[in-house]
C-alpha cells in the first residue's frame, strides 16, 4: 500500500491526522503531509478510513 496526498488539494480539515496520526502529520500551514507512505499492516485500515473521510478526496491509496 502506498499513501500519497494530491498536491494542492488538501484544505487542512485534519480528519486524516485524527484518524491515522501515525500515517499523517500536519505542516505549518495546516495542510496534511504523509508521515508513512507505506504504513504497517496495523495502520493500513486507519489510512483507508482517513482517505474515505477526507472532504476533498486529497488522499490516494494504491
Contact between residue 47 and residue 23 where contact means Cβ atoms under 8 Å apart: yes
Express each pLDDT in 16-60 by its tens digit.
999 999 999 999 999 999 999 999 999 999 999 999 999 999 999
Q: Which residues pair with 15 in a beta bridge?
A: none
Domain count, the chain: 1
Segment 1-8 mean pLDDT: 96
- Tell whether the model's pLDDT for residue 7 goes beyond 90: no
pTM of this prediction? 0.93
What's 41's domain CATH number?
3.30.70.20
DSSP state of 51: H
Domain carrying residue 38: 3-61
* pLDDT for the residue numbered 39: 98
* pLDDT for the residue numbered 1: 97
Question: What phi and psi, each to the nearest 5 degrees, are found at residue 47?
Answer: -65, -40
Amino acid at each position: 500500500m502506498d499513501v500519497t496526498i494530491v498536491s494542492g488539494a488538501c484544505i487542512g480539515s485534519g480528519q486524516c491526522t485524527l484518524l491515522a496520526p501515525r500515517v499523517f502529520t500536519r505542516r505549518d500551514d495546516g495542510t496534511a503531509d504523509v508521515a508513512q507512505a507505506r504504513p504497517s499492516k496495523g495502520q493500513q485500515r486507519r489510512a483507508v478510513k482517513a482517505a474515505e473521510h477526507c472532504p476533498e478526496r486529497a488522499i490516494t491509496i494504491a
